Amino acid sequence: MKIYVDINKGRECLPEIIDLVDVMWEKGISLSRAGDGTSFKNCTSLALCWDKWVDDKRWEMHPKFKEYIYFEVSPEDKLVVTIEVDDESTIVDKRSVHKAALYIAERCDGKLSIDGITWIVPSTYREITKVYLQYDFKESIEKSLVTID
């Protein structure tokens, strides 16, 4: 699954990584991250992963105990943030991708796309992705533990 966020306010509107993590999952989670900058504003690539099995032992034997979410920021004048996660990821991870995309779009006066061609406003995107956004973090964990979406 890949989501594109067209940024209209420049790199300075991009959130700090810790703020992005707090929106995607919740404050204080165990996290793995890799990137080419210490601040999202300075990155061209970033990978974030909630270390599920550290925070919740029920994930230890789950096939999706670790799932990286990848961010790429285009270096061109027209800024586009691409967010990608495996198509077979769990509800909790898909929810986090949609939350990140909306957060960035709303902060940066952006639009969103699932194909890089057709762009929509955040309110329309929120409606389209409500199947994932309807759950809070804890509910999305419970749904993920019983099904792989």
Name the token pair of 80.
Answer: 């586009």
Q: How confident is the model at residue 147 (pLDDT cuts 50, 70, 90)?
A: low
Q: What gap in Å lies between CA 9 and CA 110, rounded to an integer?
A: 8
pLDDT (tens digit per residue) in 37-66: 888 988 899 999 999 999 999 999 899 999
Q: What is the pTM of this model?
A: 0.93
Kindly report the number of other CB atoms within 10 A of residue 125's CB atom.
23
Delineate the domains of the chain, giving CATH numbers in brackets: 2-146 (3.30.310)
- Distance, CA of 19 to chain centre: 12
Name the token pair of 130.
Answer: 């409500």
Residue 126 has pLDDT above 50, yes or no: yes
Answer whether 1's CB lies under 8 Å from 84's CB: yes
